[in-house]
Chains A and B, each alone.
Chain A
Amino acid sequence: MSALPAPGAATPRRKTRRVQPAVPLAIIIVAAILVLIVGLALLAPWIAPADPTRQTLLMRLKPPGSVSSAGQLYLLGTDDLGRDLLSRILYGSQISIAVAFLSVVVSTVVGVSLGMAAAWFRGWVETLIMRFVDIMLSIPAVLLAVLTVAVLGPGFLKLILVLALTRWPRYTRVAYAQTLQVANLPYIKAAELAGARTLRILFRHVLPNIAGPLLVVATAEFGLMILFEAGLSFLGLGIQPPAPSWGSIMSVGRQYVERAWWIVAFPGACLFLLVFSVNVLGDWLRDKLDPRSRSR
Chain B
Amino acid sequence: MLRYAAGRLVQAAIAVLGVLTIVFIVMRFSGDPTLLLVPEGSTQEAVDALRKQLGFDRPVVIQYLDYLQSLGRFDFGISVVQRIPAIDIVASRVPYTVMLALGALAVALFVGLPAGIAMAVWRGGWLERCLSALALTGQSLPTFLSGMLLIIVFGVVLGWLPTSGAGDIRALILPSIALGALSMSTFARMARIAIIDELGKDYVRAARARGLSKAGAVERHVLRNAAIPVVTVAALEIGNLLAGAVIVETVFAWPGIGQLAIQSIQSRDFLVVQVIVLLISIVYVLTSLLADLVYALLDPRIRLAS
Contact = CB atoms under 8 A, between A and B. Distances in A.
Interface of A: 26, 131-132, 134-135, 137-143, 146-148, 150-151, 223, 227, 230-231, 234-235, 247, 250-251, 254, 257-258, 264, 268, 271-272, 275-276, 279-280, 283, 286, 290, 292-293, 295-296
Contacts of B246: 140, 142-143, 231, 235
Given A250-B145, A290-B193, A223 B139 contact: yes
B140 A134 contact: no
Given A227-B142, A283-B189, A150 B284 contact: no
Interface residues of B, number: 53
Given A142-B262, A223-B140, A275-B139, A254 B145 contact: yes
Nearest to A147: B26
B35 interface: no
Contact of A150 (B132, B149, B265): B265
Main secondary structure of the interface of A (DSSP, over half): helix
Given A138-B281, A143-B243, A235-B246, 9 more contacts: A134-B285, A135-B281, A140-B243, A140-B261, A141-B243, A142-B247, A271-B141, A279-B139, A283-B136
B248 to A, nearest CB: 10
A230 B197 contact: no
Nearest to B236: A137
Given A140-B244, A150-B265, A268-B145, A135 B139 contact: no
Nearest to B197: A292
Contacts of A231: 142-144, 246-247
B200 interface: yes
Contacts of A26: 129
Nearest to A255: B148
Nearest to B243: A140
B247 A235 contact: yes
Q: Which 7 A-B pairs have the closest CB atoms?
A: A140-B243, A138-B284, A138-B281, A230-B142, A150-B30, A275-B140, A296-B200
